[in-house]
Amino acid sequence: LTLRTLVIGTNDEAHRLSEILKRRGLGFAPIGYVGSPGLSPSPNGLPTIGDVDSLADLIRQHEAECLFVASTGVGSEDMLKVVQAARQTGAEVRVSANLPEILTTRLSVQTVANDLMAITLRPVRLTRIQEAMKRSFDVAFASLGLILSSPVTLVAAVAIGLTSRGPILFRQQRVTKGGREFTVYKFRTMTHNGDSLLPEDAPDKTAAFFKVEDDPRLTKVGGVLRKLSIDELPQLLNVVKGDMSLVGPRPLPVEQVNANPELLTPRHEVLTGVTGWWQVNGRSDLSAEEAVRLDLFYIENWALSLDLFIILKTVGVLLRRRGAY
C-alpha cells in the first residue's frame, strides 16, 4: 500500500526527502529523481530518470502515482510543468513545506497574487483567555490529583522514612519559564550524600538531561518509586503554587541549564511540566537533542486538547514503565 513516487528536484533537499520517504510505514516508494534539464545530482541510491520537460512521459513509463516536490529545488516555471503533468496523468502532487514539526491545524493556504500562494502559520502564543484556561485546568487537576493520590503519598513517605536516613522530600533548584529558578519537590529516592557511590565513568552531572541507568545511589524503596513514577507526585504542589504546569517541558537543574544554554534556553518559553511530549515519546531513552526537539514541538503546537492527550498518554507510559530510571 505504497505510492510509487518521483522526487522532483535534484538538490540536497531532494536527497534528504528521498531518504525520508524510504522509511517503512510512510506509504511512499521513491523510484527516481526528476530535475531541471542539465542538472546532475549527487545520487544516493536513486537514479535520475529525466527532467521536468518530459515529466508526463516519465510518469506513464514508470507508472508513478505521486510527485513529491522538493520546494527549494524547483522554480516557478518548473512547478507549472509539474502541475500540468500531474493533471494530464492523474498523479497526485505533494510539496515539502520546509517547516519544523507543526500541527496542520496551525496551517492554512492563501493566495497572495495570481502567481503566488503562501502557507500561513497561525501564531501559537497563548492569549490571556488561553493562559487562564490552562492555569484553571492545572489547578483543578493538580488539586484533584493530590487528593486522590494521598493514600499512595502517605505510604511512600512512611516507607522512605523507615528504610533510609534523610528527609522525606528531595528539594532542588530548577529552571522554569523565563529562566526563573524555583524549588522542585520530589520524594527522596537516593541515599543521603550518595554521589560518592557514582562510578568514575558516570556521565557529567551538568550534561543535559543527566540520568544514570541502574543508579547505585538509589535506595530499594527509591527504585520502586522511580519505576512507578511515584517520586514525581509532590510536584503537583509545584503546579498548585504556579511554578509548574501539568504539561510542559520537564524542569532541569540549574547547573544543567547553565552548562548548556544554547540547547536548553529555548525550552523556557513556557512553564515547565510534570509530564510532557518527550516523556510520552521515549522518556529517558531519548538523546538530549531529541528531547529538546520534542519539547519545541510542544511549544510550537500548544492546545488544551494536546495537554489532555499527553496526560492520557502518560497513563499508558507509566503502566509500561519504559524509560523510567
Contacts of 256 (CB under 8 A, 6+ apart): 205, 206, 207, 208, 209, 210, 264
Contact between 152 and 230 (Cβ < 8 Å): yes
Which stretches of the chain drop beneath a pLDDT of 70?
36-44, 124, 193-203, 282-285, 321-325
What is the tens place of the pLDDT at every residue in 121-167? Answer: 877 677 788 889 999 999 999 999 999 999 999 999 999 999 988 89
- pLDDT at residue 284 in the model: 61
Distance from C-alpha of 182 to C-alpha of 187, rounded to nearest angstrom: 17
- pLDDT at residue 175 in the model: 96
- pLDDT at residue 199 in the model: 64
- pLDDT at residue 303 in the model: 84
How far, CA to CA in Å, does 5 sit from each of 9, 28, 41? 12, 6, 17
- pLDDT at residue 324 in the model: 54
Distance from C-alpha of 63 to C-alpha of 244, rounded to nearest angstrom: 54
Distance from C-alpha of 69 to C-alpha of 284, rounded to nearest angstrom: 36
- pLDDT at residue 92 in the model: 95
Cut 0.85: pTM above it: no
- pLDDT at residue 162 in the model: 92
Contact between 52 and 80 (Cβ < 8 Å): no
Angle at 48 between CA 44 and CA 49, to 5 degrees: 145
